Amino acid sequence: MFKTILVAVDVDDPASAPAAIAAGEELAHCCGARLILCTVAGTGGAGFEECWTTIAARGAVDQARVRLAALADTVRGVPVTVEVAGGPVASALVETARRTEADLILISAHAPGLADLLFESDDVRVARRAPCSVLVMRADLPAPVAMAQAAAATAV
């Protein structure tokens, strides 16, 4: 079904990463897919090179790569690579999915709030522009494969 699953990870929000990575890992196991853990460093509107020209900013990208690699080390049984993209979050994720030929993007969403009524969230932007399927996972709900397994177990 899926061969390459891109999991969007916010390394600055450690609480959201484990659920997204676990869901991606479960799906990859089921599909025989590889995982790409991707984080976005920098949210400016200019190109990546223009946003990240200072030594300190390059250090931030390197630090994000190290933190993402540490998270990748927790994945078992499926091939996993890491990508650090730059620029606005949604555009960077869509471009990374296109470049890596991902056929699924898994992105976490938060419970909707007032800002979501006024502004389009990153997960909505990704879903609208992605070159592949997008699974928007609520961080406060069980992982999709666990939900399917629980439903199958009770439907005997």
Q: If DSSP states are collapsed to H, E and C, what string results for 24-81?
A: HHHHHHHHCCEEEEEEEECCCCCCHHHHCCCHHHHHHHHHHHHHHHHHHCCCCCCCEE
Cα-based distances in Å from 139 to 55, 61, 78, 109: 34, 25, 22, 6
Give the pLDDT band of residue 86 (cuts 50, 70, 90): confident
Can you give the pLDDT at residue 51? 52
pLDDT reading at 6 higher than 90 = yes
Residue 85 confidence (pLDDT) = 92
Beta bridge partners of 81: 36
pLDDT tops 80 at residue 139: no
Per-residue pLDDT of 20-73, as tens digits, reads: 899 999 999 999 999 999 999 865 444 455 555 565 667 778 888 999 999 999
For residue 14, the 8-state DSSP code is T
Per-residue pLDDT band for 14 (boundaries 50, 70, 90) equals confident
Distances (CA, A) of 30 to 8, 51, 77: 19, 39, 11
C-alpha torsion angle, residues 63, 77, 122, 129 (rounded to 10): 120
The closest alpha carbon to 83, from 95, 47, 75, belongs to: 95
pLDDT band at 19 (very low <50, low <70, confident <90, very high): confident
Confidence of residue 9 (pLDDT cuts 50, 70, 90): very high
Name the burial class of residue 37, with classes exposed (0-12), middle (13-18) and buried (19+) by CB atoms within 10 angstroms of its CB. Answer: buried
Domain ranges, residue 27: 4-154
The total of structural domains in the chain comes to 1
Kindly report the CATH number assigned to the domain that includes residue 100: 3.40.50.620
Tokens matching residue 27: 């799906």
Report the mean per-residue pLDDT for the chain.
82
Q: The whole model's pTM is what? A: 0.80
